Amino acid sequence: MSFGQTFKALSDPVRREILTLLKSGRMSVGEIGSHFDMTGATISYHLSILKKADLVHESKYKNFVYYELNTSVVEELMAWLSNLKGGNES
C-alpha cells in the first residue's frame, strides 16, 4: 500500500523481471521460476514481496499458484512520479 513498499519491491532486478514476465499474462510459480537460476524458495520469497506491495495478485488452481500483474498500483506509482515531476503546489 505504501510507496516505500512498492518502490522497494521494484528495486530488485529479479522482481522487475518477474513483473515483465507477467505482462504476457498470468503464470504459475514454477513457470516463473524456470526463467531464473535460483531455487523455488527464493522465487517464492520474491513473489511474497511483490504480493505485499500489491503489485501482483495470486490465484490457485489444482496444486498450482498463479500470479498476475496488478496494474492499479502501477498507476498510483505513476501518479506519484507525475506529481514529483510536474506538481506545483508549495
Partner DNA sequence: TAGGTATTTAGATATTTTTCTAAATAGTTG
Partner DNA sequence: CAACTATTTAGAAAAATATCTAAATACCTA
Q: 85 is written with which cell numbers?
A: 515531476
Distance of alpha carbon 50 from alpha carbon 67, whole angstroms: 10
Distance of alpha carbon 73 from alpha carbon 75, whole angstroms: 5
Site for DNA in 30-49 (CB under 7 A): 30, 33, 37-49
Q: Which residue has the cell 498476475?
A: 68
Q: How far is the CB of 85 from DNA (least distance, A)?
A: 22
Residue 12 makes contact with DNA by CB under 7 A: yes
Q: Which is nearer to DNA, 39 or 82 (CB)?
A: 39
Q: Which does 21 bind (CB under 5 to 8 A by kind): its own copies, DNA, none?
A: none
